[in-house]
Amino acid sequence: RRLDPQIFGTPQKPLGFEPEIGVPVENRSVSGNMFTTTKELTPFSDNFTRINGSFTMNLTDNTPVDVNESNDTAEAEFNFTDPTGEIRYRVVLTNITRVGEFHPVFGGVVDGIAHGKTGIDTRLEPTSYAYGAVWGVGSLYINDTLVSDNRIIHAMAIERVRSPEQQGYRLLFDNELPHRGIQAHLVMPEMVMADNGTMPEQPVPTNYTLPNGQNQTFIHVAFDSPKLQGLKILDFNNATAVMTGNMTRT
């Protein structure tokens, strides 16, 4: 993933290196006085392959803080294929995480700013508005067979964070966000929820082999321009860039 200097700083003044949500300084490539990319592969690169899929997600944010008594509710199911179309995946949300281990989850469901500078979930995604996001666990089915349960899931409908496909479908920096449109994302990292509430690492058994011959051990699927009910979709004209351009030095 390319590293946004607004979020990760510089080699002289590094930022965003917190465990679990940030990037360790030793995992950053450097060119001159700038961080460039992560040294390790991540689910948040500019690489993509078009696939077919659909989803439904119904989120209700009733409780604004992390408490076990949260009244937040969520239902979600995602269906999609691998790039060949031969493997069919189904991911079903089965439970909400109401108290976060590494960062707040606002009772499980949130509508507000997340990622990036906020420290809410990964800093590798830009700081962006979430129309609705949920943290939880779910089941992974491949070709109608349950292959993994209690998988960690982060699903969200957020403002558009990638450039158009004609421009490479890049994961944008903060100052590039158009602040318009909507994308939905399903992220299934290499973690499961254990019975004791911890989240040990466990690769996602995708059964998919990457072009380099390695197994893909995570899932990150983006759905462009989904339908949204209950909130208005943002439609600004790159407000961040305009604001930055209007700043003057003193």
pLDDT tens digits, one per residue of 95-130: 999 999 999 999 999 999 999 999 999 999 999 999
* Residue with token string 């948040």: 44
pLDDT of residue 247: 39
| Percent of the residues in the chain that have a pLDDT greater than 90, as a whole number | 89
DSSP 118: G
Residue 244: band (very low, low, confident or very high) from pLDDT cuts 50, 70, 90: very low
* Closest to 173 measured CA to CA, from 116, 107, 244, 105: 116
pLDDT of residue 242: 45
> Is the per-residue pLDDT at 203 higher than 70?
yes
* Residue with token string 């957020």: 158
- Opening angle at CA 172, ends 214 and 5, nearest 5: 95
pTM of the model: 0.90
DSSP 232: P
Q: pLDDT by residue (tens digit) across 41-80?
A: 899 999 999 999 999 999 999 999 999 999 999 999 999 9
Q: How far apart are CA 60 and CA 70, in angstroms?
A: 11
* Closest to 155 measured CA to CA, from 91, 227, 199: 91
| Percent of the residues in the chain that have a pLDDT greater than 70, as a whole number | 94
| Whether 25 contacts 14, CB under 8 Å | yes
Residues contacting residue 146 through CB under 8 Å, at least 6 positions apart: 139, 140
Q: How far apart are CA 16 and CA 14, in angstroms?
A: 7
* Closest to 77 measured CA to CA, from 65, 60, 102, 94: 94
Segment among 4-18, 187-201, 235-249 with least mean pLDDT? 235-249
pLDDT of residue 29: 98
Residue 178 phi/psi, 5-degree rounding, is: -75, -15
pLDDT of residue 250: 37
The strand ranges marked E within the chain are 28-31, 34-38, 53-60, 73-81, 88-96, 109-114, 128-142, 145-158, 183-188, 219-224
Segment among 163-172, 182-191, 239-248 with least mean pLDDT? 239-248
